């Protein structure tokens, strides 16, 4: 998608100097006038709030009055190596991304290579992806409740030794949460990897087949390198998701428990702000999250730009 060189501004290049200047000034005025409404909305509800969050992260703030405390909020967030603990749940999810990546890529390649009915599978795998995290979370809560379907199934197949109070222990609670995340991500992965695979010229793959390369070697040495942008997109969107979008899932499923051990950072900001009324330290945590996310989203935008042009 490239823009034709000449036609971007309305005026053909041969007009006389002053006329052209007048036309381009009119065009600029029109552009500003039509851009202003959207700019105002973004300024009032996005840009000023971001600045306000950053500014208030250096204060003690109750929503009405704020007193400057310098780096106090950050110091207490970093104190005693607490930071890792604060980000613990996000890190657990982050560590789970390679697993779902492998599941998605292997499923996609197998579907692409060997299954004539791959469209059907793609649609079925995608269904959970359209559901809200709230729906998925409550579903997980019911399925894994002590009297739920999972324990009942374990009992019926003679594995009653594995029946457990899934949300009573941090480890199993994480397992259920990550399972719900995997369940919702499979469809996205398969969808985009199949699209990426269909863009690979079939001669390339055939050549490597003649080479006699084994399936796994072909996957890692031939196919994956050709899918680099797609893989990058998948990893980045999911890294960003597990950093900033876990609130809904955790809020309904574990409520952050047991004992606050499955609380992701956005949930913690919510609790500090809207339950404890400590808006200053909530802002500081939000700023930490903002900085981390901006790094990852600028990487994502670099990838997106290849599509959007400019």
- Which 25-64 residues touch another protein, going by CB under 8 A? 27-28, 30-32, 34-35, 37-39, 41-42, 44-50, 52-53, 56, 63
Residue 4 CA, chain-centre distance (Å), reads 35
The full DSSP string for the chain is ----STTSSSS-TTS-HHHHHHHHHHHHHHHHHHHHHHHHHHIIIIIHHHHHHHHHTTEEE-SS-EEE-TTHHHHHHHGGGHHHHHTHHHHHHHHHHHHHHHHHHHHHHHHHHH-TTHHHHHHHHHGGGGS-HHHHHHHHHHHTSTTSHHHHHHHHTT-GGG---TTTSHHHHHHHHHHHHHHHHHHHHHHHHHHHHHTS-HHHHHHHHHTT--HHHHIIIIIHHHTHHHHHHHHHHHHHHHHHS-HHHHHHHTTT-STTTT--HHHHHHHHHHTS--HHHHHHHHHHHHHHHHHHHHHHHHHHHHHH--
Residues 180-219 that bind another protein (CB under 8 A): 183, 186-188, 191-192, 195-196, 199
x-marked contacts with another protein along 222-261 as a string, rule CB under 8 A: -------xx--xx-----x--xx--xx--xx--x------
* Nearer of residues 81 and 156 to another protein, judged by Cβ: 156
- In the complex, what is the shortest distance from the CB of residue 6 to another protein, in angstroms, rounded to a whole number? 9
* Nearer of residues 81 and 180 to another protein, judged by Cβ: 180
* Nearer of residues 207 and 301 to another protein, judged by Cβ: 301
Q: Select the residue interacting with another protein from 58, 125, 167, 181 (CB under 8 A).
A: 125
Residue 179: closest CA among 85, 266, 93: 93
Segment 87-91 long-range contacts (CB within 8 Å, at least 24 positions apart): 87/265, 88/261, 89/174, 89/246, 89/250, 89/261, 89/262, 89/263, 89/264, 89/265, 90/242, 90/243, 90/246, 90/264, 90/265
Q: Select the residue interacting with another protein from 75, 131, 159, 204 (CB under 8 A).
A: 131
x-marked contacts with another protein along 67-106 as a string, rule CB under 8 A: ----------------------------------------
* Nearer of residues 223 and 273 to another protein, judged by Cβ: 273
* Segment interacting with another protein (CB under 8 A) among 71-79, 84-92, 138-146, 205-213: 138-146
x-marked contacts with another protein along 104-123 as a string, rule CB under 8 A: ---x--xx--xx-----x-x
* Nearer of residues 101 and 183 to another protein, judged by Cβ: 183
Residues 142-161 that bind another protein (CB under 8 A): 142-143, 145, 147-149, 152-153, 156
Q: Select the residue interacting with another protein from 102, 127, 162, 204 (CB under 8 A).
A: 127
Residues 260-299 that bind another protein (CB under 8 A): 266, 269-270, 273-274, 279, 282-283, 286-287, 289-290, 293-294, 296-298
* Nearer of residues 80 and 201 to another protein, judged by Cβ: 201
- In the complex, what is the shortest distance from the CB of residue 226 to another protein, in angstroms, rounded to a whole number? 11
Using rule CB under 8 A, residue 65 touches another protein: no
């Amino acid at each position: 998608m490239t823009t034709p060189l000449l036609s971007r501004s309305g005026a053909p290049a041969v007009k006389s100097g002053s006329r052209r200047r007048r036309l381009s000034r009119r065009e600029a005025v029109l552009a500003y006038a039509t851009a202003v409404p959207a700019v105002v909305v973004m300024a009032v509800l996005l840009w000023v709030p971001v600045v306000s969050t950053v500014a208030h992260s250096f204060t003690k703030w109750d929503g009405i009055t704020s007193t400057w405390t310098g780096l106090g909020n950050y110091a207490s967030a970093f104190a005693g190596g607490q930071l890792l603990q604060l980000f613990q749940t996000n890190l657990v999810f982050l560590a789970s991304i390679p697993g779902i990546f492998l599941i998605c890529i292997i499923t996609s390649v197998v579907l692409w290579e060997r299954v004539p009915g791959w469209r059907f599978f793609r649609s079925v795998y995608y269904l959970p992806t359209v559901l809200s995290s709230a729906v998925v979370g409550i579903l997980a809560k019911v399925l894994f409740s002590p009297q739920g379907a999972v324990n009942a199934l374990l009992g019926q197949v003679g594995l009653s030794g594995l029946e457990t109070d899934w949300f009573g222990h941090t480890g199993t609670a994480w397992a259920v949460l990550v399972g719900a995340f995997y369940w919702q991500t499979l469809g996205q992965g398969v969808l985009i990897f199949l699209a990426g695979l269909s863009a690979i010229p079939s001669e390339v793959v055939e050549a490597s087949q003649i080479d006699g390369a084994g399936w796994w070697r072909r996957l890692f040495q031939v196919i994956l390198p050709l899918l680099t942008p797609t893989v990058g997109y998948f990893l980045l969107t999911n890294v960003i998701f597990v950093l900033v979008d876990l609130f809904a899932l955790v809020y309904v499923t574990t409520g952050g428990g047991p004992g606050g051990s499955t609380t992701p950072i956005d949930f913690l900001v919510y609790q500090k702000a809207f339950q404890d009324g400590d808006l200053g330290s909530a802002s500081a945590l939000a700023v930490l999250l903002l900085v981390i996310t901006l790094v990852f989203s600028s990487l994502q935008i670099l990838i997106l730009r290849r599509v959007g042009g400019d």
